[in-house]
Structure 1
Amino acid sequence: MEQKYLINCDHVSKAFETPEGVFQVIEDLNIKVRENEFLVLFGPGQCGKSTILNTIAGFEPVTGGEITVNGEKVTKPGPERGVVFQTTALFPWLKVMGNVEYGPRMRGVPKKERRARAQHYIELVGLQGFENSYPIKLSGGMKQRVGIARAYCNEPLVMLMDEPFGHLDAQTRYLMQEELTRIRQLEKRTVIFVTNNIEEAVYLADRILVLRNCPTSVKAEYEIDLPRPRSYTDPEFLRLRREIDSVVDHTL
């Protein structure tokens, strides 16, 4: 059976105008993402990972090439692409329920339907009982759970996750990696996940793309065929970690 690619970045480039001149962030980037694949974009800080995600999300226009999602050219944001940000970006004036149901509410989904959908995803991320809590009352990990539930509530084809656990303490980060693995087993989605944490990349990914420093493009690719749940101390996990680390551009 022919492999279906849901996302296609075809010779994509992105440059920004700065006072010092043109700054090329992405150059001739080619990525194909399979349906229901968990793809990790891995590379050093400031190499262009978030810019790639922003172009796929439609937040930033490309300056060369083309991006398509489900066969449609990306020209602006759309509900078929859910985004989970590094900073939680929750609305502080809305309770958990209000944040999670926000997308369907803006799209005119009837209240009864969107509330039922939001409740489903609140329970999926383990926040039942916190529906009426404001974000200020939540821990960092709980806020990211709300962000994940909010993205899922729009029922997108694609989840774009920009270092969502980067600001969490180590213990909470490990817990959220386990939770994301659990959630994904229950709610299949195509996911592009950005991280500069090599253990996180190997723990979560079906496939890892190692990116070059700016201007970025794909330097190496790894299929991660380890059984789940994965162990950080598994010999093959450690071997992959060392191998991937050896090809990363460590200096900017």
Structure 2
Amino acid sequence: MVGSGKIDEIIRCENVNKTFISGNGVYEVVKNLNLSIRENEFVVLFGPGQCGKTTVLNLIAGLEAASDGEVMVDGKKVMGPDPSRGMVYQTTALFPWLTVMENVEFGPKARGVRKEERRKIARKYIEMVGLEGFEKSYPVKLSGGMQQRVGIARAYSNDPVVILMDEPFGHLDAQTRYMMEEELEKIVSAEKRTVVFVTNNIEEAVYLADRILLLSNCPTHVVKEYSVDLPRPRDYVSEEFLALREKIMQEMEETL
């Protein structure tokens, strides 16, 4: 994709198909998917439940292989998982036997980063997500929102090119979810990364996204896209916010 005078595409899916084969037959989940995402862009994959959003994210992550087509990240064909693509899941997937500090520094440690340096990296991102003072705490002692903060810090600590988020706030109560959306907006503004975020919550999509890609029912592909030009931080009840929300929901009902 062409930006201001230069090509800054970081993710590209071209004619991507994904088919699963089971004892019950062939199940086509993704069909002729084409998308392009720019460097440091926050893109939300939005669509109905069970439409294939997570499968698209897994294809970009390298956790699933495309049946046909090509998935490219940072100019390289995706052949499998890679530290350059950080993941944040709905269930935090933290190591329960490790402290907050040990969870956040796990990636750099696995890459052979010296203890002093990886502790410095971990402290930076623990501070970024507002968990100073909890470095020695274990996940079981943390609230759901705090656990997701650890997951976000852990993803950033590997210095990824892309951060992929699969409904990370979907299991939180409404109040905590709003708080985490506001915190994530601040984090992304402070530490620029390309973010691909999966949700089926329209308010969350409009609040966070630079651009929203509306996905079809299964087998999924991009139906429409929306640029979200609202100033940040956004107001959930502003006239412009509500108008865009209504437009997307109406077109979703008409299209799917």
Match in the other structure for 1:64: 68
- Cα gap change, 1:251 to 1:151, in 2 (>3 Å): same
For the 8 Å contact 1:212–1:249, the answer to whether it is kept is no
Match in the other structure for 2:153: 149
For the 8 Å contact 1:11–1:30, the answer to whether it is kept is yes
Distance between the aligned counterparts of 1:251 and 1:137, measured in 2? 45
Map 1:1-252; keep pairs closer than 5 Å: 1-248=5-252
Q: Which amino acid aligns with 1:178?
A: E
Q: Which runs of 4+ in 1 moved over 6 A?
A: none
For the 8 Å contact 1:201–1:208, the answer to whether it is kept is yes
Distance between the aligned counterparts of 1:249 and 1:114, measured in 2? 48
Query: Percent identical across equivalent pairs?
Result: 64
Deviation of 1:2 after TM superposition, in Å, equals 2.4
SS for the counterpart of 2:184 is: helix
SS for the counterpart of 2:168 is: coil
In the superposition, the TM-score normalised over structure 2's length comes to 0.97
Distance between the aligned counterparts of 1:71 and 1:114, measured in 2? 28
- Cα gap change, 1:250 to 1:150, in 2 (>3 Å): farther
- Cα gap change, 1:251 to 1:221, in 2 (>3 Å): closer
SS for the counterpart of 1:136 is: helix
Distance between the aligned counterparts of 2:142 and 2:178, measured in 1? 18
Distance between the aligned counterparts of 1:250 and 1:49, measured in 2? 19
Distance between the aligned counterparts of 1:201 and 1:222, measured in 2? 11
Distance between the aligned counterparts of 1:128 and 1:41, measured in 2? 32
Structure 2: give runs of 5+ residues left out of the alignment: none
**Cα displacement string for residues 157-212 of structure 1 (whole angstroms, at most 9, x for unaligned residues):** 10000000000000000000000010111100000000000000000000000000
Deviation of 1:248 after TM superposition, in Å, equals 2.0
For the 8 Å contact 1:44–1:249, the answer to whether it is kept is no
Give RMSD over aligned pairs.
1.2
- Cα gap change, 1:91 to 1:18, in 2 (>3 Å): same
Deviation of 1:250 after TM superposition, in Å, equals 9.2
Deviation of 1:49 after TM superposition, in Å, equals 0.3
For the 8 Å contact 1:213–1:249, the answer to whether it is kept is no
Task: Report the count of equivalent residues.
Answer: 252
**Cα displacement string for residues 101-140 of structure 1 (whole angstroms, at most 9, x for unaligned residues):** 0111111111110010000000000000000000000000
Q: Which amino acid aligns with 1:230?
A: R
Distance between the aligned counterparts of 1:68 and 1:109, measured in 2? 27
**Cα displacement string for residues 203-234 of structure 1 (whole angstroms, at most 9, x for unaligned residues):** 00000000000000011110000000100111
Structure 1: give runs of 5+ residues left out of the alignment: none
